[in-house]
Structure formats: structure tokens, C-alpha cells
Amino acid sequence: MATAVERSATAPLSSAPADATGRRPPRPRAFDQPRFLKFFTAVVFLYLFAPIFVVFLFSFNSKRSTQIFATFSLRWYDVLIHDQSMLGSLWASIEVAFVTMLAGTVIGTLLAFGLVRSNSRVNRPADVLMLLNLVSPEIVTAIALLLVFSEVGSILTPLGFKLGLSLTTVALGHITWSIPYVTIIVRGRLASLNREVEEAAQDLGATNLQAMRLVTLPLLWPAIIASALLVFVMSFDDFVTSYFVSGIDLEPLPIRIYTMIHFGVTPEINAIGTIMMLVTISIVLLALFIYSRQQRARLTFLAE
Amino acid sequence: MSIAVETPTVRLDHLVKRFGALTAVNDLTLDIGRAEFFSMLGPSGCGKTTTLRMIAGFEQPDEGELFLEGRSVARVPPYHRNVNTVFQSYALFEHLTVWDNVAFGLRRKKVAEAEIKKRVGDVLDLVRLRGKAASRPRQLSGGQQQRVALARALVNLPAVLLLDEPLGSLDLQLRKQMQIELKQIQRQVGITFVYVTHDQEEALTMSDRIAVMNEGVLQQAGTPEEIYEQPANAFVAGFIGISNLLPGVVEDHAVRLRTGQLVPAQLDSGMRAGESVLVCVRPEKLQVGRGDGAHARVEGTVVETVYLGTATQYLVELGPDVRLVAIESNVHTRHRQDRLALGSRLELAWLPEHGRILRS
């Protein structure tokens, strides 16, 4: 009961009250009463969203004009759903994004496990290479991919295989840059997982594989799903890589739109643009929601 | 204490564990008996947690053998050992309810669902968390999470329950309460507990036996009374409770203290005149100014007094760098003026059998 007092008695008796914390310094006034800040913020947001809003608005224009808004109509959406080639491209983009998402998420997650869990000497170099991939200019990667595909294609053709530029090469290209995004997100979550949780599962009779399936993966799901959705979106509206490595028969949607602009801008582009935007934004919001909810729950859990 | 004829539940036989150049556990030999509450006590880095992890199977010993219920478990992975752990961080499964956390082990062992239902229910009653079965761990308080971790391990009825500083992250009051609760639960279930802690008071309160470790080496193993009253060396004496260590030199049936006084002492056989020793006396064994011829007596100056409510603690200086802590019960000293003032001279006395002589 009296141990604390007794203990301090054997140590130096005069322990001055160490008041290390002190008071927080007052915040700079400029941040308390921002004069220009509100205005400046409004301008930035206007700059960011005005063009998108124009696209959104004019997709409902009843006239062909892209400058004068007449009346509200769904005319261009009607045109769009009867445009077989546009719908084909939309479907192609979804297909590519789906394949990229699956492959990128699996490979990226495995890489995250390797980087966090192994003590290998290739750990650091692998980490740097992954980040290098992330920051290298996409156009360089795209050109490199084009060269690789045509080279590999010319080797494979005499052997009876075909690797012409097609949706397959687009997906292969997208997978290359999607991996680091998954790895970075999943790695963060994995590193914050307490290793003792897995040990606890083993302690309770789970083999390594069961511990992975029953404990580790369920705790990682939010990060994995969030990164998968992010990769889906990035692949879905990718232009640069797709432009270089897609074939001529069926183009992904962004390339299709680009080609279409050569023949003049029609409000149909506004309509497809609006749809793309809504799809993208809702998926990103979903990803953010899943990830942040998990993080918040985790933080409150740790704070207890 | 363990009974010799019975197979010890845990037997550590010359265990050695190294991490690189560091020897975390050095030649550790211990028997832990059935239904014993056994504590491993020591400062951080003394090898107590490493020992626990070897029993659990998370670490493999570099040398020596480990037996559980008489069986060598050298090649047995953690998930096949009849041992469960309460982790320091609790390591609860955040994505599962309290009920599913507790049922985890039984489900792995393919126990019938009806029996799982009964056993999980019983153990949740035992830790008083029946009402929280559907909650997630993060909805519980620290003390409740701690009890879930305990229930999750206990429900499997292991031969040994390993506890790695399970009360470390609780506040003082809750910790006191949980100490008593843990001890009661241990008596009720009759499972061997191996309890790792760095808190000497906790170990004294709860344990049947204590092993004190330092720098990977076992210093002493024994009952709380043995450890406290007859510490094997200066480390144990200093780590458990407060001890007064007076340096001196052996003379005939006595010790000549460095400060000059000659005090009668009970010497171990084999201690020869001229040998350097430490006289170890517990504060409560010191009598303030009431010694007679049978006592060892020293005189010093009061340099500090601390009022503790039930007792008064005096810090008495015998000579340069030689100080004694004495505790006098406050039966007769209810007022401030009844206590000794700073700077006053004071005689302290103890019976020779209360002064333990340690080789320095």
C-alpha cells in the first residue's frame, strides 16, 4: 500500500514536481481570423469544380450548343445509350479496370506482406523499386510497355502465340502501376497490426494458415477493399498507358472520347463525362468511407 | 510448494536462449507444480518474457529441454501445446464479438457446438462478462478487455496458463482489484498459472512461489516469505521490498560495519573472518531506541522523516553514504511533536536472526 512512498524514500527524498507539460503557446492570430483565407479557398474550389460543373450542366442541354444552355433534357443520354461503339468502349474500360483491380490487389497485397513480414536483404531495394515505379512518369512507362509488348509479340508470333495490342495489353500495362498503390495502403494497415494477435490465434490452436484466414485477413479487408476500389477507378479513367498499348479494334472509353473530339465536341461527350465522373466519385467515396471507418474504429480501440 | 513425487506441470531443464550476441535466458532450471501460482519477477530485459514465450512455443530454446506434464515439447508447435497465453496487449480479435473471441480456441479443436455454448457461457460467468457476449472488444473498458483475454485462454482448460504482465496497462486501483480477482479465479479453476511481472508487490501478493531473474539468470526461487525474509543475494534483497544493506567485514560471530560498529550476526557456515559481506535488515525489523544486550545496535542521525499514516519512516545516516530506513508503527506517535526531529540522534536495534548476511 505504502510502497510508492517508501520507494521514493530510498531514492532522493526531495523530488521536485517536474512540470514538463506547461501551457500550449497561443496560436498565430492570422489563423484565428483569416481575412483572405475564406475568399482564397472559395476561388480555389471554384477553379477546381467550375469546369466539371459546366460539363455536368451541359449534359442536360436540349440544344446542340456547348455554349448556350437552352432547356433541360435527357436527349444526349438517349443518344449515348444508342451509341453502340461508345457503350462497347465503356464496357471495355470496365473489363480492363476489373482485371487490373483483381491482379493488382492480389500482387500488391502479397508484396505488402513480403515487405512487412520478411527480414530479407532484398527488402529495402524492393521497397525503393516499388516507390520508383510509383513516381516514374507514366508516359515513359507507357512507351516502355509499348516497346516490350511489340518485342515480346514478335518473339511469340513464330511460336504460334499472339500478343497483339489489345485490351489484354492495356490490362497488363495498368497492372504494372497499380501494384504500388495497393502495397502502400495494405502495408500501412499490416504494419499497424499487433503481431501478438496472430500469436494469440496460434496459441488458441490455429495453424499458420488458419490464423491468416481467420484473423489477419479479416483485419486487413478494409485496406484491401479500399485499395482495390482505388485501383479500379485509376484504371477506369487512365489515358496515357491505354493510349499507347491499346489496339485499334476496341478502345477504352477515355481513348474513345479523345478520338471523338477530333470530329468536334458534341454534348454526348458531356453526358458520358458526367457518367464517368459519377462512377469515379462514388467509388472513391466508398473507398474512403470503408478505410476511414476502419481507421477511426481502430484509433478509438487503441485509445482505450 | 511443489510436491516431489508429482510430475511437475512445467519443467525447464538448463534452458538457454540467445538473440545474436545477447543471452536472454542463461541455463535456467525450474520446476513448476500442479495448480501453482508461479510468478517470474525481474526488471525488464531479465529474460522472464522470453522464458514465457518458450513455454508457449513462440521461441525455441537454443539449449536445454522443456517438459510440459512430463512430455518434452521441443518439436511441438504452439497450436498443439496444452498451454494458453494472456498477452500483455490482450491481443483480442477486434473483428469478432466477445463470445466469438472466447469460443475461438474451442472451435479450432472442433468441440461440439453444444459444449462450446456451455463452456463459453460458464467462463463468461466466471469473469462476469455474460452480458457483454455480443459486444466487440473495442466497446469494452480496459479491465473488461483484460477479462475477455483471460476467459479466452481459460475456456480451453490448459495445463498451464501463461500471463505476460496482464495488468500492466491498467490503472492502480483496477490493478489491485484484478490481482485479487485473478488469484480467486486461479484457486477456483485449479490451473497452473505462470505469471510474468516486474512489480514485486504484485508478485508477493498473488504468488505461491516466485522466481526472481536478472540478466537471464535465475537469482532465487521460493515462496514469497523465503524471498522476502531470506534473500539469496543483494540483487534479490534490493529488488523485493526495501532493504537496508550495510557493508562490513566478518569477525568472530559478528560483523564489523564500515562505519565502525561491531554487530552480532548469524553467519553462514563457510564465512571466514576478513570476508566482505552485506548485512541486510528489513525496515520493519529495526526497532527505534529499544534494544538490549541481545540486539545488534547502531546509532545515527535522522536525516528525513516521512509520515505514512499507519507508520513513520525514518531515514537514518550512520556514516558517509551509509543510510538505514526504519519504520516505526504510529501506535504512540499520533502527533507531530511525538516524532523525532531532523538531526536528532537515534539508536536502531535488531535481533541478529533478522540480519541476513550476504556475500558482497
For residues B94 and B98, give the distance between their C-alpha atoms in angstroms, rounded to a whole number.
Answer: 9
B21 lies in the same domain as B43: yes
B87 lies in the same domain as B200: yes
**Is residue A210 situated within a structural domain?**
no
User: What average pLDDT score do residues B133-142 get?
Assistant: 92
**Is residue B291 situated within a structural domain?**
yes
- Are A199 and B306 a contacting pair at CB < 8 A? no
Pairing state of beta strands B296-307 and B356-359?
A: unpaired
B16 lies in the same domain as B141: yes
H-type alpha helices, B39-94: 48-56
**Is residue B246 situated within a structural domain?**
yes
Upper half-sphere CA count for residue A6 (Cβ side, 13 Å)? 23
A150 lies in the same domain as A46: no
- Are A197 and B109 a contacting pair at CB < 8 A? no
A63 lies in the same domain as A175: no
Q: Mutating which of A5, A203, A220 best tests the B interface, going by the most B Cβ atoms within 10 A?
A: A203
Q: CB neighbours (10 Å) of residue B251?
A: 15
**Is residue B1 situated within a structural domain?**
no
User: Using a CB cutoff of 8 Å and minimum separation of 24, what contacts does A188-193 make?
Assistant: A188/A223, A189/A219, A189/A220, A189/A222, A189/A223, A189/A294, A190/A112, A190/A113, A190/A116, A190/A117, A190/A220, A190/A223, A191/A116, A192/A298, A193/A219, A193/A220
* Per-residue pLDDT at A90 exceeds 80: yes
DSSP code of residue A82: T
For residues A251 and B194, give the distance between their C-alpha atoms in angstroms, rounded to a whole number.
Answer: 67
Among residues B191, B214, B234, the one where a domain terminates is B234
Q: CB neighbours (10 Å) of residue B96?
A: 17
A257 lies in the same domain as A288: yes
Q: Are the C-beta atoms of B279 and B293 separated by less than 8 Å?
A: no
**Is residue A114 situated within a structural domain?**
yes
Q: Are the C-beta atoms of B8 and B36 separated by less than 8 Å?
A: no
Number of independent structural domains in chain B: 2
**Is residue A9 situated within a structural domain?**
no
**Is residue B4 situated within a structural domain?**
no
- Are B84 and A199 a contacting pair at CB < 8 A? no
Q: Are the C-beta atoms of B227 and B220 separated by less than 8 Å?
A: yes
User: Residue A222: closest CA among chain B residues belongs to which residue?
Assistant: B95
A162 lies in the same domain as A240: yes
pLDDT band at A232 (very low <50, low <70, confident <90, very high): very high
Give the angle subtended at the CA of B232 by the CAs of B228 and B235, to the nearest 5°. Answer: 85
pLDDT band at A28 (very low <50, low <70, confident <90, very high): low
Distance from CA of A122 to the nearest CA of B (A): 21
| DSSP-derived 3-state class of residue A210 | helix
The reported pLDDT for the residue numbered A24 is 59
The reported pLDDT for the residue numbered A289 is 84
Residues 66-105 of B with CB under 8 A from A: 77-80, 83-85, 87-89, 91-95, 104-105
Q: Are the C-beta atoms of B271 and B250 separated by less than 8 Å?
A: yes
**Is residue A119 situated within a structural domain?**
yes
The reported pLDDT for the residue numbered B281 is 92
A137 lies in the same domain as A45: no
For residues B164 and B153, give the distance between their C-alpha atoms in angstroms, rounded to a whole number.
Answer: 12
A178 lies in the same domain as A41: no
B306 lies in the same domain as B261: yes
**Is residue A253 situated within a structural domain?**
yes
Q: Which residues of A touch B92 (CB under 8 A)?
A: 197, 200
- Are A304 and B138 a contacting pair at CB < 8 A? yes
Angle between helix B142-154 and helix B113-126 axes, rounded to 10 deg: 140
A177 lies in the same domain as A136: yes
Q: Mutating which of A193, A202, A204 best tests the B interface, going by the most B Cβ atoms within 10 A?
A: A204
Give the angle subtended at the CA of A193 by the CAs of A192 and A195, to the nearest 5°. Answer: 125
A107 lies in the same domain as A232: yes
* Per-residue pLDDT at B65 exceeds 90: yes
Distance from CA of A202 to the nearest CA of B (A): 5
Select from B85, B105, B138 the Cβ nearest to the Cβ of A301. Answer: B138
The reported pLDDT for the residue numbered A164 is 79
The CATH number of residue A122's host domain is 1.10.3720.10
User: What average pLDDT score do residues B247-258 get?
Assistant: 89
- Are B104 and A201 a contacting pair at CB < 8 A? yes
**Is residue B5 situated within a structural domain?**
no
Averaged pLDDT score across all residues of chain A: 83
Radius of gyration of chain A (CA): 27
- Are A304 and B142 a contacting pair at CB < 8 A? yes
A43 lies in the same domain as A154: no
**B341 is in which domain, residue-wise?**
242-359
Enclosing H/E stretch for B227: helix B224-229
- Are A197 and B105 a contacting pair at CB < 8 A? no
For residues B28 and B47, give the distance between their C-alpha atoms in angstroms, rounded to a whole number.
Answer: 10
Chain A residues contacting B via beta carbons under 8 Å = 2-3, 5-7, 9-10, 13, 194, 196-197, 199-207, 210, 214-215, 218-219, 297-298, 300-301, 304
User: What average pLDDT score do residues B194-213 get?
Assistant: 94
The reported pLDDT for the residue numbered A18 is 41
The reported pLDDT for the residue numbered A11 is 40
B39 lies in the same domain as B103: yes
Q: Are the C-beta atoms of B287 and B350 separated by less than 8 Å?
A: yes
The reported pLDDT for the residue numbered A4 is 42
* Per-residue pLDDT at B2 exceeds 50: no
The reported pLDDT for the residue numbered B333 is 67
B229 lies in the same domain as B253: no
The CATH number of residue B28's host domain is 3.40.50.300
- Are A297 and B78 a contacting pair at CB < 8 A? no
Q: Which residues of A touch B58 (CB under 8 A)?
A: 199, 202
For residues A72 and A62, give the distance between their C-alpha atoms in angstroms, rounded to a whole number.
Answer: 6
Number of independent structural domains in chain A: 2
Q: Which residues of A touch B307 (CB under 8 A)?
A: none
Distance from CA of B306 to the nearest CA of A (A): 8
Which residue type, as a one-letter code, is found at position B131?
Answer: G
**Is residue A154 situated within a structural domain?**
yes
Among residues B213, B234, B255, the one where a domain terminates is B234
User: What average pLDDT score do residues A254-262 get?
Assistant: 88
Q: Which residues of A touch B308 (CB under 8 A)?
A: 2, 5-6
Select from B80, B141, B308 the Cβ nearest to the Cβ of A5. Answer: B308
* Per-residue pLDDT at A10 exceeds 60: no
Select from B80, B138, B242 the Cβ nearest to the Cβ of A10. Answer: B242
Distance from CA of A223 to the nearest CA of B (A): 14
ipTM for the complex?
Answer: 0.82
Query: Which of A63-72, A232-241, B51-60 bottoms out in mean pLDDT, i.e. has the lowest?
Result: A63-72
Give the angle subtended at the CA of B150 by the CAs of B149 and B154, to the nearest 5°. Answer: 125
pLDDT band at A2 (very low <50, low <70, confident <90, very high): very low
Residues 6 or more apart whose CB falls under 8 angstroms from that of B70 comprise B7, B8, B11
The three grid cell numbers given for residue A87, joined into one nine-digit string: 457503350
For residues A48 and A284, give the distance between their C-alpha atoms in angstroms, rounded to a whole number.
Answer: 17
- Are B306 and A9 a contacting pair at CB < 8 A? yes
B228 lies in the same domain as B257: no
Q: Which residues of A touch B311 (CB under 8 A)?
A: 2
A171 lies in the same domain as A115: yes
Distance from CA of A301 to the nearest CA of B (A): 5
pLDDT band at A33 (very low <50, low <70, confident <90, very high): low
B205 lies in the same domain as B286: no
For residues B331 and B315, give the distance between their C-alpha atoms in angstroms, rounded to a whole number.
Answer: 19
The CATH number of residue B350's host domain is 2.40.50.100
For residues B109 and B269, give the distance between their C-alpha atoms in angstroms, rounded to a whole number.
Answer: 56
Q: Which residue has the higher pLDDT, B296 or B208?
A: B208
* Per-residue pLDDT at B17 exceeds 90: yes
For residues B224 and B204, give the distance between their C-alpha atoms in angstroms, rounded to a whole number.
Answer: 5
pLDDT band at A301 (very low <50, low <70, confident <90, very high): low
Chain A interface includes B138 (CB < 8 A): yes
**For the stretch B261-292, what's the b/e string if a residue is b when 16 or more beta carbons lie within 10 angstroms of its beta carbon?**
bebbbebeeeeeeebebbbbbbbebbbbeebe
Q: How many residues does chain A have?
A: 304
For residues A108 and A114, give the distance between their C-alpha atoms in angstroms, rounded to a whole number.
Answer: 10
Q: Mutating which of B104, B145, B245, B322 best tests the A interface, going by the most A Cβ atoms within 10 A?
A: B104
- Count of pairs with CB atoms under 8 A, one residue in A, one in B: 98
* Per-residue pLDDT at A9 exceeds 60: no
Task: Read off the pLDDT of residues B4-14 as tens digits, 9 standing for 90 and up.
Answer: 567 899 999 99
Upper half-sphere CA count for residue B355 (Cβ side, 13 Å)? 30
User: What average pLDDT score do residues B29-49 get?
Assistant: 94
B220 lies in the same domain as B264: no
**Is residue B276 situated within a structural domain?**
yes
**Is residue B2 situated within a structural domain?**
no
Among residues B216, B234, B252, the one where a domain terminates is B234
> What is the residue-wise DSSP string for B149-168?
HHHHHHTT--SEEEEESTTT
Q: Which residues of A touch B105 (CB under 8 A)?
A: 204-205
- Are B87 and A215 a contacting pair at CB < 8 A? no
Angle between helix B142-154 and helix B98-108 axes, rounded to 10 deg: 20
* Per-residue pLDDT at A16 exceeds 50: no
Cell match 523525532: residue?
B340
A42 lies in the same domain as A152: no
Angle between helix A167-192 and helix A217-236 axes, rounded to 10 deg: 140
The reported pLDDT for the residue numbered B292 is 75
- Are A5 and B313 a contacting pair at CB < 8 A? yes
**Is residue B16 situated within a structural domain?**
yes
The three grid cell numbers given for residue B229, joined into one nine-digit string: 525474509
Task: Read off the pLDDT of residues B302-352 as tens digits, 9 standing for 90 and up.
Answer: 999 888 888 888 999 988 888 899 988 887 766 766 677 888 888 899 998
The reported pLDDT for the residue numbered B294 is 78
**Is residue A22 situated within a structural domain?**
no
B222 lies in the same domain as B298: no
For residues B137 and A128, give the distance between their C-alpha atoms in angstroms, rounded to a whole number.
Answer: 37
The reported pLDDT for the residue numbered A297 is 64
User: Residue A197: closest CA among chain B residues belongs to which residue?
Assistant: B91
- Are A5 and B104 a contacting pair at CB < 8 A? no
Residue B169 burial (10 A CB sphere; 0-12, 13-18, 19+): middle
**A41 is in which domain, residue-wise?**
35-73
**Is residue A177 situated within a structural domain?**
yes
A192 lies in the same domain as A230: yes
B229 lies in the same domain as B325: no
